[in-house]
Amino acid sequence: MKRSVVVISAQAADELTQVGPQTATGAFLRQFWVPFLPSDAVAAGGEPFPVRLMGEDLVAFRREDGQVGLVDTACAHRRAPLLYARNEGCGLRCVYHGWQFDITGQCTDMPAEPETSRFKQHIKIKAYPVRERNGVLWTFMGTGEPPALPDLEWNQVPAENVHVSFRVQDTDWLSAYEGEIDSAHAPILHGRLDRTSKRSNTMAARTGRPVFDIVQQDFGVSVGARRPIGDGAELYWRVNQFVLPFWTLVPPKSTEWAELTGHAWVPIDDTHTLCVGFTYLPDRPLKERMVDVFVNSYQGRETGHPSKLAYDETIPHNEPYWRYISKYRRATNFLFDYELQRETYFSGLPGLWVQDSGCQTGATFLAPRSHEHLTSSDAGLVVARQTVHDCVAAHRDSGELPEIATRPDLYRVRSVAAVLKSDESWTEALEGFIRRSGGAPLGYEVP
């Protein structure tokens, strides 16, 4: 399983952020199902919603019969915006000349044309297939017959077991997912000065500097981080997963906070990412108090998910993903608060996800990767970068895809946190917990 790993060049890494339809990375990513909206973003017969995925501007809408369409942003006639189209009958009717398109993109009506005209039969706009599963809309933008939806546990458990959020980040997708693979930042960036938070008392915050052990897997990359406990006879292991092509899974934090979390980092375009966050318990409902904190924030601070107060309600409705653009972004300086940095938060950034977003986004548009200096704690992202790079190159050169592109079952994987004896092999000891899925209990006590 383990292959030799070479650090790819900064330029090669930067190329992985180019995701448009004519790019090698874009062509690779399009061969995977993409979660692109929550179901409630489009009401039956309601207003269309502007979507941008991998550089393509699209419009999502739900017909009266409940079926969801995802079609080109412009009418095929004179390129008028379908965002203003009337959602009626089989699909969208352009308000300019009344051309109507169904969810396959087929033009079905041209009311200004002679009745005898068959021209509409020749007109079809771009349209992507949409699947809906447990409150999430998925699309497939690739070529060929799409595989079944991936067996991702968070999207298969009962609704009360999971909290899902969507937000836009002004970051290329690579910077975004790499931020979550790197677990070395967590006790630092998310640390507090007042030492009152539960987070400050977690094992990761209490123990020492992490040492990393990276393993390439059929699903992507396992990033193991070990920290010595006490005299070193035992090790605290946290295993984050990078799952192809853009998924990260983060282990539970403590016995009390035993939830599994993670993200899909879906490229909106080369410089924006749709962050689809999920927190779930495989075998039981989330605590109401936890969901309340996610939805309403905690004492005015953002937590692991964007609260309903986090979104910027002034964004015009023709901006792609307007509903999921937050107040905490580069244009607002992430509402950074220097006083907060002196007294409460190590970072001064107001809330957990804001801290991640601020660091992933902050200066990346100014400083290309050639200005990076990667270190031992970046071993995971180096291997993940290499893995994506190799997959993109293989697909570009020979059309070859990794097995996971056509094996939905390979997504049955979890992140793990555990205490092991110092001479135990973590890959052997934890394999059973990593491959556990389908709503089964964790099977171990979270340290």
Give the interface with another protein as residue ranges (CB under 8 A).
113-114, 116-119, 121-122
Tell me the two tokens of residue 279.
């927190």
Least separation in angstroms between residue 77's CB and another protein is 12
Least separation in angstroms between residue 434's CB and another protein is 55
Peptide bond before 245: cis, by omega within 30 degrees of 0? yes
- Burial of residue 285 (number of CB atoms within 10 Å: 0-12, 13-18, 19+): middle
In whole angstroms, give the CA distance from residue 229 to residue 231: 6
Q: What is the DSSP string of 202-258?
A: SHHHHS---EEEEEE-SSEEEEEEEEEETTTTEEEEEEEEEETTTEEEE---SSTT-
Least separation in angstroms between residue 109's CB and another protein is 14
- What's the DSSP call for residue 150? P
Residue number, 114 or 232, with CB nearest to another protein? 114
Least separation in angstroms between residue 72's CB and another protein is 19
Residue number, 120 or 330, with CB nearest to another protein? 120
In whole angstroms, give the CA distance from residue 291 to residue 363: 32
Residue number, 79 or 209, with CB nearest to another protein? 79
In whole angstroms, give the CA distance from residue 22 to residue 266: 17
Distances (CA, A) of 322 to 6, 273, 327: 40, 13, 11
Least separation in angstroms between residue 88's CB and another protein is 24
Report the SS3 class of residue 353. Answer: helix
Which residue, among 270, 227, 275, has the nearest Cα to 247 in the 3D structure? 275
In whole angstroms, give the CA distance from residue 238 to residue 204: 8
Residue number, 122 or 373, with CB nearest to another protein? 122
Least separation in angstroms between residue 114's CB and another protein is 6
Tell me the two tokens of residue 113.
């044309």
Least separation in angstroms between residue 110's CB and another protein is 10
What are the strands of the beta sheet with 136-139, ordered from one edge?
34-38, 136-139, 130-133
Residue number, 117 or 201, with CB nearest to another protein? 117
Residue number, 110 or 352, with CB nearest to another protein? 110
Q: Which residue type sits at 35? A: P
Least separation in angstroms between residue 93's CB and another protein is 20
Least separation in angstroms between residue 221's CB and another protein is 50
Pair 99, 75: CB distance under 8 Å: yes
Tell me the two tokens of residue 343.
């007294």
Residue number, 107 or 243, with CB nearest to another protein? 107
Residue number, 116 or 299, with CB nearest to another protein? 116
Residue number, 5 or 123, with CB nearest to another protein? 123
